[in-house]
Amino acid sequence: MSNETMYIFFPLKIISYPQSGYSEDDRDELSTEEAVNYEDIILAAIKKENYHIEEFLVESTLKKKVGSLSPSVEVLDDKLWGVMTVQLNTALTSEETATLISQIEGQNRDGWGKDFERRRINTPDCEIYVRFHNSNTYMIKTEQEFRMDQGQDGLVMGGLS
């Protein structure tokens, strides 16, 4: 048993509306920098829903090797990113990792993520809707790939700055 933790990063799309009496014309897409202000509120909303995404894995090998999949958000370089925390019972091969990433993308787009984006999240100054699949600029990468793309060395997850 390996009991490793893997992190998968992807962009978010966050739409805000005034708190009441709004129309579609009143919507505003928040930048990833603006979204940082809502990190704790989004984390609380995710925790409240208590998603068990590992239940939706279709590949039998992954079902055995993946203990849990937990959606979250993290601030990295002053931007808010979506993160899937993967608790592994056994290490994955590169092919299994690719399959897992594909299944996470599907869940972000059409599964749990579709359900979550329909949930209104009330903040002190607006209502927000969080989409874990940004179809315009979507990418999904392991933490190592993500950090290399961001020009960072090392793997330091949790409380990133």
Domain assignment of residue 157, yes or no: no
Question: Which residue type does 146 have?
Answer: F
Q: pLDDT, tens digit, for every residue of 116-152?
A: 999 999 999 899 999 998 766 678 888 888 877 777 6
The answer to whether 22 and 1 have CB atoms below 8 angstroms apart is no
Q: Classify residue 123: in a domain, yes or no.
A: yes
Q: Bridge partners of 127?
A: 17, 122
Whether residue 1 is predicted with pLDDT greater than 50 in this model: the reply is no
DSSP 100-145: HHHHHHHHHHHSHHHHHHTS-EE-SS-EEEEES--TTS---EEHHH
Please report the pLDDT score of residue 69 as a whole number.
94
Residue 148 lies in a domain: no
151 dihedral zone (left: phi>0; alpha: psi -120 to 50; beta): left
Residue numbers of the domain that contains 42? 4-143
Q: How confident is the model at residue 160 (pLDDT cuts 50, 70, 90)?
A: very low
How many CA within 13 A on the CB side of residue 22? 14
- Answer whether residue 158 is part of any domain: no
Compute the average pLDDT of residues 99-122. Answer: 92
Q: Give the pLDDT score at 77.
A: 86
**Pairwise pLDDT comparison (2 vs 18), residue with the higher score:** 18
Q: Is the pLDDT of residue 154 over 60?
A: no
For residue 160, give the amino acid letter. L
Q: Is 122 exposed, middle or buried (0-12, 13-18, 19+ CB in 10 A)?
A: exposed
Q: What is the pLDDT of residues 38-82, one digit of tens each?
A: 999 999 999 998 888 888 888 888 999 999 999 999 998 899 999
Q: How many domains does the structure of the chain reveal?
A: 1
